Chain A
Amino acid sequence: MKTHIMNTLAQHTIKMSLVAIAMTSVFSPAIADGYGLAQVNRTSLKLDKWQCKRCKISTDTQGSIGAGLAYNDGSDPRFGNTSGTDKDGLVGHLDADVTLKNESGYRTEITANKLGYDNGSATLTTGKPGQYEVAFGYRGIANYDTNRALTPYMVKRDAMLLPEDWQTGATTGQMVSLIDSVKQAELMTQRDSLTLDAHYKGDFYKAELDYQHQERSGQGAFSGNLLTNSAMLAQPIDDSIDNLGAKIYFNGDGWLAGINTMLSQYKNDHDALSWDSAFSPTFGAAYSGQSATAPDNKAYRIAGNAQFSDNGQQILMHTGFSRFTQEQTFLPATINGPSPDLPSANLDGQVDMIEMTIKYSGRITSELSLRASYDYKDRDNKTEIHDYPQVITDSYFSGTATNPEYDRTRQKAKLAAKYRFSRNVYLDVGYEYDHNNYSDLDRETLHESSLYGHLSYRPSHAWSFRFKAKAQDRSGSEYKPVSRTDSPSNPLLRKTYLADREHQEYKLSANYTGSALFSASASLHISQDDYTDTQIGLTDIDTSGYDISGQYRVNEDLSLNAFLNQDWRDSEQAGSSNFSTPNWYTTADEQSTVVGLGILYQNLLDKTLSLGVDYNYSDGQSDTQVSQGLTTPYGAYFSTSHNVNAFADYQMSESIALRFDWIFEQYQDADWSNQGMSVDSIPNVLIFGDLSHDYNAHYFGVTLSYSL
């Protein structure tokens, strides 16, 4: 393995110096991957001298393949988020990490990680590193929520159907067959993506092509509403995204320019979701409802980048254009009774985005460097504006409404300077101005000024300290509540994202890296948001927290690491029950704690055995209380987990290794919105019941691997 890394590094260094790598990281991700390089005095470099003399190009097939078998406790599928699969009982997987090379530098890499599990991946990369490469990839990502969502509905393509003998009720309590009809449904999503990437690097250019096809399946929670009655449904998810990207970049002496394009398409196999109403119709004959699902849509983007550097100064320019279109055929406004005419067959929606950036950075003197940038982003909704009939929750027609545009133009200007007082101390200060123009919102303009600075002090090689501070002030044009809605908001209400705000944040951190055996870091941070003009709405947020972490290598074989993090976030909100000045108040106090301990013991039994164990504890909770004279606390809202991840890696022979894994998780959570509830707890909402978790689950795995 080690030689393999060395080889790769040697080859890379021919093309790119470490300095260049560091510099590229300054630039935007779009031009990362080697193209941020300032090609300074390249010609005078004696590249031959950089050749790793000791490195030999091996033509062997290297790496290992493995097969594993495990027992997984899948009784609560949520454990699958940790173990990688929700299957209960024996599960198998394949792992691989194989590299094939020949003398001409041609190389093929095969990797597999837990292939066979829902959360598994595999890649096949082939090509000549540094010249051209083609990579195929597969990756599965599963997200498990619960398999205990109780519902009487059955899924049939786009329809959610009730049992044939279902008897509707005006309230959930009156649905006589409800308790006998409910079955457990699983809420989870599985994403499977296939990727194909190819890139080619010429002398003065680089071309890249990426394709990704991602399919999503599973079931998610959906709320089917008919007037004042609602049913929670396990909505089937079957959709896909295709992305095709192409880039070409050219570079010369002190410059770099390129074009970056992307095509994207979203397809949903479900055009609509319809459901039988479990409730007796409130009015008329609304026995079923229908709702649109996420519509098929397309997007493309074309962007150009250019970058010039000279004498320690860089200018970067970027401009891009994106278009998003959507022309899914409209569903009828209602399926209950005659549907009012729609103004068109589909939205024929089109949103164009233009973005432009110009950035400058330069070293003025050896102590002082400056950065400046200007960003422009414009979202222009070109969809035609029509009067659309409004049907309230598939029940009754309530006049017309026009589609709002929500256009936005955002301009950001930044100016920053970094001054190095001495080798040990530097100060970085900056100012940022963010200006937004909106349409169809309560404010037409919103602008924010930010001032920030950080002071870095490195008194010795071992110690470094950093203090960061930031202050922001946000304001805008007159606040005029939108009048589009039937229920106007309280004139004193200020929406959080548009409200005047004063923000401050501070962070102090310390690092110790003085010993090869021991390193540690600690930081402390606080922030405060004050919504200065808000009488009703979110008024204050205070956060605070700290992080401590340390690594200790006791000796060559034994190392320890630990971390602790705690965060608090307290927010305050005010409301009015009589559409007047505030008369009720809410506080939401959130806190999280994460603790981790890890031990790695290597080179046991004559360097054939490694042991490792990680323990993680995490706890998050939120306490909300509403007070209007009397204080009413909300119920429990928390999650707590203890997680142990232990392994033993035993090298049985030169080529055969055996690995044992043990994962244990104790997990508990609760949400007052469903805790202790049954399907008929709420008269007008047919719910999934109690969705909280409380489990102890184990995963025992054994993997046999063979080194090639």
Chain B
Amino acid sequence: MKLITNLICVFDVKNAAALILAVLLTACGGDDGEPGNPGEPGGPPATDISSLNVEVDEVIFTHGVATVNYSVNNQDDEPVVGIPSSTYIAAQLLPQGFTNAGNTSQWQYFTSESCTSSCTGELVDHKNGKYSYTFSAAFDGMNEMSYMPGATQRIVIKIGGDSLPDGTALPTTNQNFDWQDSGEVAYTRNLISMETCNTCHNDLAFHGSKYNEIETCVTCHSEGKVSSNDNIFPQMIHGKHLTGFPGSLADCQTCHVNDETLTENMNWARVPGMEACGSCHTDINFPAGEGHPAQVDNSNCVACHNPDWTMSVHDGGNDEALAQFNAQITAASLSGTTVTFSIKLSNPESGEVYTDSADKLNFISRLGVETNWGTSFDYSSNSAKRLTISSETPDSGADGIYTYQVTGLTIPTGSETDRGAIVIKGSICANGNQLADCEMETSTVLVLQASHQFFDTTNITATGRRVVVTNETCSTCHVLTQLKKHSGERNDAEAQCQLCHNNFKTADETAQNPQATSSDYKHLAHTLHAGMRSNYADIKYPGDIGNCAQCHIEDEDSVLTAALPLDSAVQPLMLNDGSFTSPTAAICSACHTSDSAKNHMTQQGAVFMGTEEDATSGTESCATCHGQGATADVLTVHPIK
């Protein structure tokens, strides 16, 4: 079918009869009779477009054929006229329990129709930001699905990804509209929002970047549309996250967040079924009774797996019990090579201070401190000093505040007035939502969120080593207490890891990318997430690796901490053979590994595997062009969002 352009509004009103005038006024909304004047919302067509706002006014259903009337505006509510291409997807939702007792609601796909130079159905561009699309035929029977009056229907409109005739680029936009042929939509299936996905992924888009909303995905990834049931959305999306997931898969609420604006946000716990559950519990064959007593359908699931049970085993942790314990370093100071510190253990819920010391509290599984010196030069020794206070009698103290000492720190000459960092980490025991004796069989061990304090020779200080990533930014993807290394206990990614993962961790000079062999924190973090380390080669970074702001925070001047020049505390990369690579080059070349990149860096003063003296002589001139505000600022050349 040909694209039909609405020409009524360019009619010369002055020569028209009064009746036609009335019709035109209704159709075009203008009252000055000027040809082509767009109607509501009025104003000239948008020329500056950073986002598209698609609003569906109505779906008119005539003899089973749907016409969708919608408007497209830009970010300033100006009408967008002349959109060159669009796609329309139609699907139907069957309510929960409709297909059989216990079954979840499910989508049924009808059709996807597109308009470019020609249309599957019939598109009218009203030239005022309003559009009407009439599907090519009745939904009933399309894709062998029956249209059911009263069922919730969905139309997805996809526009953008191309440009207006004048060259203005249109961002890819998916907009869904749920409707029902008689009144309000009676039920929905809004389980997850795209924002949740995009906290870890950045701007997910699939199928040629056309589809970027979960509301779109589910319409096609549905039974009867995809050839394999493994590609039905719940099964597919669970399956895809089974490997390489940075948090606990058992915590359903990482993705199924408790968002009240999503009508079915608790569907994951309330409507258990073999399809969704079996997509993670892949060792179960429900009908055959393997790995689970035989179940031929979903009608029984909830009898045992009631919502409370499901939530209790899939919450990924025990926040209620953890909230009853806090370990706080109240004082710390360095004298000679000894750190003296005090710790207060309390229950923040009740305000109670535990009067016993850590070695006497039976619900403490393990509690330890780690400390290192030299925050202005990224620490002074290969490994931090440790003390396990859960098995240590305190040196002094009473009534909940106890004092301990860690001896034998490395204090380089001249750094006596520098600062240090001390971290407390460990785990506690709980039974249900109450703290419990670790000796009890029923107790489970819960990992604490570690925390740090900076200190000097007199007491704790507000600042210490620079903070460029925070636990919060790491937590957009990770559940820090569930990190696989170090029993999950060393989880203060903001300031703990750096105590040991410092510049004394050497790199393999023979490696193609030596930084990918160093466990110095910055190199470890960059190369690990980029999937460059041989022992973690299967890591697929879920977002855009060039988006430094996914992990890095802004400093007090609101400048992203990925900016150049580097902080003076950053040390060069130390290699096994005793050579060094200058600090900026070491960081940049961890990702920009090509010879041409390295040549460019060398030409601009970088030192690769040179002497320590050369590598620290300050010949790097990276900041001249790539510094903050410069022509090729790293903050602008990276796709930072």
Contact = CB atoms under 8 A, between A and B. Distances in A.
A577 B270 CA distance: 9
Contact of B150 (A578, A583, A630, A683): A630
A174 interface: yes
B338 interface: no
Contact of B180 (A487, A629, A684): A629
A631 B150 CA distance: 8
Contacts of A283: 293
A460 B365 CA distance: 95
A683 B298 CA distance: 11
A629 B299 contact: no
Contact of B97 (A170, A171, A577): A577
Nearest to A577: B96
Contacts of B303: 227-228
B296 A171 contact: yes
Interface string A607-641: 00000000000000000000111111000000000
Contact of B95 (A227, A579, A628): A628
B152 interface: yes
Interface residues of B, number: 31
Interface string B179-203: 0100001110000000000000000
B186 A579 contact: no
B270 A630 contact: no
A173 B297 CA distance: 13
Nearest to B98: A630
B102 to A, nearest CB: 11
B294 A627 contact: no
B95 A578 contact: no
A687 to B, nearest CB: 14
B151 interface: yes
Interface stretch (B215-223, B232-240, B260-268, B354-362): B260-268
Contacts of B398: none
- Most chain-A Cβ atoms within 10 A of its Cβ — which of B95, B263, B264? B95
Nearest to B93: A629
A662 B526 CA distance: 97
A341 interface: no
Interface in B244-270: 263-264, 266-267, 270
Given A577-B96, A578-B270, A627 B150 contact: yes
Interface in A146-205: 170-171, 173-174
Interface in A274-333: 280, 282-283
A170 B294 contact: yes
Interface in B383-436: none
B304 interface: yes
B304 A227 contact: yes
A580 interface: yes
Given A170-B289, A174-B294, A632-B98, A583 B300 contact: no
Contacts of B95: 577, 584, 628-630
B263 A578 contact: yes
Nearest to B189: A578
Nearest to B288: A170
B313 interface: no
Interface string B205-239: 00000000000000000000000000000000000
B299 to A, nearest CB: 7
B187 A628 contact: yes
B263 A580 contact: yes
B23 interface: no
B266 A630 contact: no
Nearest to A488: B308
Contacts of A631: 150
A630 B151 contact: yes
Interface string B81-106: 00000000000001111100000000
A486 interface: yes
B186 A628 contact: yes
A631 B187 CA distance: 13
B306 interface: yes
B623 to A, nearest CB: 55
Q: Report, as a range, how many residues of chain A touch the other chain.
A: 20 to 34
B148 interface: yes
A580 B263 CA distance: 8
A650 to B, nearest CB: 61
Contacts of B308: 486-487
B186 A487 contact: no
Contact of A630 (B148, B264, B295, B296): B148
Given A578-B264, A628-B95, A170 B293 contact: yes
Contacts of A684: 299-300
A487 B309 CA distance: 10
Contact of B186 (A170, A171, A173, A583): A583
Contacts of B187: 577, 583-584, 628-629
Contacts, number: 72
A627 B148 CA distance: 13
A632 B96 CA distance: 12
Contacts of A584: 95, 186-187
A400 B390 CA distance: 35
B306 A486 contact: yes
Contact of B151 (A170, A577, A579, A629): A629
B270 A683 contact: no
A283 B304 CA distance: 12
Contacts of A628: 95-96, 98, 186-187
A684 B187 CA distance: 29
- Most chain-A Cβ atoms within 10 A of its Cβ — which of B152, B186, B289, B293? B293
- Most chain-B Cβ atoms within 10 A of its Cβ — which of A170, A283, A628, A683? A628
Contacts of B289: 170, 280
- Most chain-B Cβ atoms within 10 A of its Cβ — which of A227, A280, A486, A630? A630
B96 to A, nearest CB: 5
Contacts of A487: 306-308
A578 B266 CA distance: 7
A578 B296 CA distance: 24
A661 B342 CA distance: 103
Contacts of A170: 289, 293-294
A170 B307 CA distance: 24
Contacts of A486: 306, 308
A695 to B, nearest CB: 32
A583 B294 CA distance: 32
A584 B186 CA distance: 8
A583 B300 CA distance: 22
A578 B267 contact: yes
A8 to B, nearest CB: 63
Given A627-B150, A630-B98, A630-B151, A282 B293 contact: yes
Contacts of B266: 578-579
A629 B186 contact: yes
Contacts of A577: 95-97, 187
Contacts of B267: 578
Contacts of B152: 629
Contacts of B307: 487, 579
A683 B94 CA distance: 24
A174 B289 CA distance: 12
Interface string B259-293: 00001101100100000000000000000010001
Interface in A202-239: 227-228
Interface of B: 94-98, 148, 150-152, 180, 185-187, 263-264, 266-267, 270, 289, 293-297, 299-300, 303-304, 306-308
Interface of A: 170-171, 173-174, 227-228, 280, 282-283, 486-487, 577-580, 583-584, 627-632, 683-684
Which 8 residue pairs across A and B have the least CB separation, nearest first? Answer: A170-B294, A629-B186, A282-B293, A228-B300, A629-B150, A683-B296, A628-B95, A228-B303
16 contacts: A227-B303, A228-B303, A228-B304, A283-B293, A486-B306, A577-B96, A578-B96, A579-B266, A580-B263, A629-B95, A629-B151, A629-B180, A629-B187, A630-B94, A630-B98, A683-B296
Given A578-B270, A630-B94, A630-B148, 7 more contacts: A227-B303, A282-B293, A487-B306, A577-B97, A579-B307, A629-B151, A629-B185
